Structure 1
Amino acid sequence: MPSHESPELVDLFTTYTAGPGSIGSHLTGTATAHGADDPLIVATGADFALYPGGGRAPMVEGFRLSIRGFKELAAVSHLGPALATLVRLRTGYGDGDWRTQAERLLRQVERSRKANSTELWRDTIAVDAYRGRERAIAGMVDYSCAMTARYLRAALADEDYLTPETLRGDYLDGGGTAELPVPLNRMMIATFFLIGLDTFHRILGWFRTQRIDWDHAMVVVAGQQGRPTGGVTWNTSSVVAMILGASEYRLPLDRLYLAPHAPTFATPLDGDLGEVAALEEPLRRLWSGIRETVELGTVMFDGYPRFLPGEIAHPDVSDHTVTGISEMPVIHGPDDWRAMTTRLRVVLEDPRQLLSGCVTDYAVQQLVAADNDPAGVVVPGLDRVDYPTGL
């Protein structure tokens, strides 16, 4: 133990938390055992796993990279960002390698255009959700490749053409002219929509066959979803949208937790669900531990505004008619005990919050206002308060 620590107070810390034998861990274990028969749904970046409960084997359904048509449509939807990247290389960094990259992209665009056909989409890619639209999809891909190739050739012929203004006006956001009948922004919307249409069509059908008791479902969205900073809140996660839709909006939002640092499983190969099955217990403990922390909010702070997703953002809780909030309330000074006590409840009930972040932002604001002089800050609950001793 470091010399600056008090062994007695450290032991007090570990009695409640920070160890498998702690009181908090005991509560998590009790809650996990109590919910062992409830269905657990876990979403990774590529798959859904359903643990039916009661010791029954898990089931897995993929929804991303291994799916028919995903890479082909994503390839076309990325043409806009690809051209924008070339613009950034040239105009933002003066990187002469933009020309090599443009030539490379042009070759792949021309190659893909030759391979594209109605038959490819209907007979080879063959996505059920696209049935009847194959000719339109092939036409959209052909047009998108043609317009991309034209833009690339113009830029390669005259590099001064490669600017944000021409990208928007002659490719992305123009349109309605003989030169650009349809702006490519519409293609990007269409491709993203088609990917979502197919994905949810399959996932909704899969979930419907499982007959899940959504009122008791335990849901964890685990690990990274797309780019490292994406999909970490309810409103920004397409996976959350799918799960809520699959429940036909019966799943209570407070039973769904996004856990970017939770353990995940790789997409099972050859039907081997060993890794998936091994994660059931730790993921059930994870969900139950979060849930029990949330439940402490009512036990400790009933009567103060509770956390309600999507209710009132950043409210002034000095208005006593406010009973539910979705973000931290504003603090009106070091004696605003209603706001600060409400924050204690919010950090317990809002799974996005760090428990240590209850008044961190307020402390930062006060230090900045005091030019980083701790003596110029009022510490709520300590300064201006006399605690009797020796009781």
Structure 2
Amino acid sequence: MYESPELRRLFSTYSNSKTPGRESIADHLSTLSMAEHRDDTLIVATATDLAVYPGGGAPPQVQGFRINIPGFTELTAISHLGPAIASIVAISLRGEDELWRRDAQRLIDDTRRVRAADGTQLWQESLEITAFEGREERIAAMVDYACAISERYLVRALAEPGYLSPATLRDDLLDGRSTGLPVSMNRIMIATFALYALDFTHRLVNWLDEIRVDWDRTLFAITGRQGRPTAGTSKATTNLARIMHLVSGGRLSVDRIFVAPTMPGFETPRDGDLSEVVAAEEPIRWQLARVMSSAELAPIMYDGYPRFAEPGLYGPDLHVGASSVTEMPRIHGPDDWLTMFTRLRLTLEDPRQLLAAGVTDFVAEQLLEAGNDPMAVTVPGLDGEPYPPVALAAPEQRQ
């Protein structure tokens, strides 16, 4: 391909990101911007960890989240029961009888194993999650119950030809309308997401309070893949932006939050080795400086034209009778089931959304209003729900 050397030189004079010396005009401005923000706190989120760089060359601190904290996998396993059984229904609709029946039996076997291993001791002693103190017995009962009603539905599907369908899934399990379930699977899914949010936010607030983050001078970058390949690519579609904004008490300006799915972060540190985390700071600060410096040109070049306004982190409130939503509506209380269940549908149907984002911001908001006291928060789908202490399935199925 022919390239004019003169025009190529002109192009590179302004912008040449591949030059190690950072000698283009754009690089000069970015270098100045980076220097201006070098002492600002930088918080970086990867898919599994958060790092706080205090600025001024001070060493970072790291804390895990999602799969890197106790209880995440266990709670997610229960929240996956609904989509797992829905997937079995979808497989059956394709006429793959042998496949769906085999998968149904696998799920039955796994739920029975979970019920045999579950109990208050698991949540109280083995996992030992501070934010769950006082709720361990209820959580164990919820897990047992979720496995029992899932097993009951699948056993009937295997035994009764024609029973497995989207309608029976919704009526007999997810909503529980026709069977009169004490607690529906939809509420259980909400509870698992809420419990994760309770633990994560509680840990996060304690950690950041110890560090004493100066929120007015903080940059927050969300790097790499967050969940599905298409998910969490904007501030409105990642629960981390909403949670961090809440945790800061609104002091973290939304225009200082950067969602950067193509920006490399760092791998989870092993054995306390933070060398990769330390090495990541400079390139991340440089990339953010490039973004901020280009945004700085807008008012210089186009003063008098309409300016960009940050979109809200929430969509419009959901109203009874609405047939569709395009963004996350705000939850208005622990009994706002219409909004919470609509959010569950949105997280599945909208490829931009994170699957676990159904109620995380709502729980975080409650927790912060309660002074970071987990017991002062209502966990929707868990607190006040009539989970039976003894599960519905026959005793021999607990062996």
TM-score (norm 1): 0.76
Structure 1 residue aligned with 2:270: 269
Distance 2:55 2:300 in 1: 28
CA distance in 1, matches of 2:244, 2:65: 12
Conserved? CA contact 1:39–1:213, under 8 Å = yes
Give the Cα–Cα distance (whole angstroms) in 1 for the partners of residues 182 and 212 of structure 2: 47
> What letter corresponds to residue 189 of structure 1 in structure 2?
I
| Structure 2 spans left out of the alignment, 5+ residues | 315-399
> In structure 2, what is the equivalent of residue 347 of structure 1?
none
Following superposition, the deviation at residue 13 of structure 1 comes to: 1.1
The residue identity in structure 2 corresponding to 1:17 is S
Equivalent AA in structure 2 for residue 44 of structure 1 = T
Partner of 1:360: none
The match for 1:142 among 134, 141, 144 is: 144
Contact 1:204 1:245 in 2 (8 A): no
Q: Which residue in the other structure is 2:189 paired with? A: 188
Instruction: Show structure 1 runs of 5+ residues with no match.
Output: 314-391
The answer to which structure, 1 or 2, has the higher relative contact order (CA under 8 A, 6+ apart) is 2
1: CA distance, partners of 2:245 / 2:228 = 22
Contact 1:68 1:125 in 2 (8 A): yes
CA deviations on 1:22-42 (whole Å, 9 max, x unpaired) are 111121122112221111111
1:288, 1:53 → 2: CA distance? 14
Aligned to 2:294: 293
The TM-score with structure 2 as length reference comes to: 0.75
- Paired residues of 1:175 and 1:182 also in contact (CA < 8 A): no
Separation in structure 2 between the aligned mates of residue 63 and residue 224 of structure 1, nearest angstrom:
14
The alignment status of 1:11 with 2:9, answered yes or no, reads yes
How far does residue 245 in structure 1 lie from its aligned partner after superposition? 1.9
Is the CA contact 1:118–1:134 (under 8 Å) kept in the aligned structure 2? yes
Q: Which of structure 1's runs of 4+ aligned residues deviate more than 4 A?
A: none
Q: In structure 1, give the amino acid aligned to 2:7.
A: L
Per-residue CA deviation, residues 277-304 of structure 1 (Å, 9 max, x unaligned), is 0011100001111111111111111111
Name the structure 2 match of 1:254: 255
Q: Which amino acid counterpart does residue 114 of structure 2 have in structure 1? A: S
For the 8 Å contact 1:50–1:60, the answer to whether it is kept is yes
1:257 positional shift: 0.5
User: Match for 1:135: what amino acid?
Assistant: E
Q: CA deviation at 1:220?
A: 0.8
User: What secondary structure, in the 3-state scheme, does the structure 1 residue paired with 2:301 have?
Assistant: helix
List aligned pairs for 1:69-148, cutoff 5 A.
69-92=71-94, 94=96, 96-148=98-150
State the match for 1:362 in structure 2.
none
Task: Choose 19-28 or 70-79, whichever is displaced more.
Answer: 19-28
Counterpart of 1:279 in structure 2: which amino acid? Answer: A
1:219 and 1:122 map into 2 onto residues whose CA distance is 34
Residue 246 of structure 1: CA displacement?
2.1
* Residues in 2 aligned to 1:254 and 1:173: alpha-carbon distance in whole angstroms: 40
Candidates 49, 52, 57, aligned match of 1:50: 52
CA displacement 1:341-367 (0-9 Å, x = unmatched): xxxxxxxxxxxxxxxxxxxxxxxxxxx
Matched residue, 1:68: 70
Deviation, structure 1 residue 306: 1.0
Identical-pair percentage: 48
1:114 Cα offset (Å): 1.2
Of the structure 1 ranges 152-161 and 53-62, higher mean CA displacement relative to structure 2 is found in: 152-161
Partner-residue secondary structure (3-state), 2:43: strand
Match of 1:370 in 2: none
2:14–2:25 CA contact under 8 A, matched in 1: yes
Question: What is the one-letter code of the residue matched to 1:153?
Answer: V
Whole-Å separation in 2 of the counterparts to 1:40 and 1:48: 10
Partner residue, 1:345: none
Q: Which residue of 2 aligns with 1:338?
A: none
The answer to whether the 8 A contact 2:30-2:289 is kept is yes
Instruction: Read off the aligned partner of 1:114 and give its amino acid letter.
Output: A
Answer with 1 or 2: which has the greater Rg.
Answer: 1
| Alpha-carbon distance between aligned partners in 2 of 1:189 and 1:27, rounded to the nearest angstrom | 47
State the SS of the aligned residue for 1:219.
Answer: strand
Q: Distance in 2 between matches of 1:296 and 1:148?
A: 57
Pairing of 1:144-163 with structure 2 (within 5 A): 144-163=146-165
Cα deviation per residue 1:322-381 (whole Å; 9 max; x = unaligned)?
xxxxxxxxxxxxxxxxxxxxxxxxxxxxxxxxxxxxxxxxxxxxxxxxxxxxxxxxxxxx
**Bigger shift: 198-207 or 30-39?**
30-39
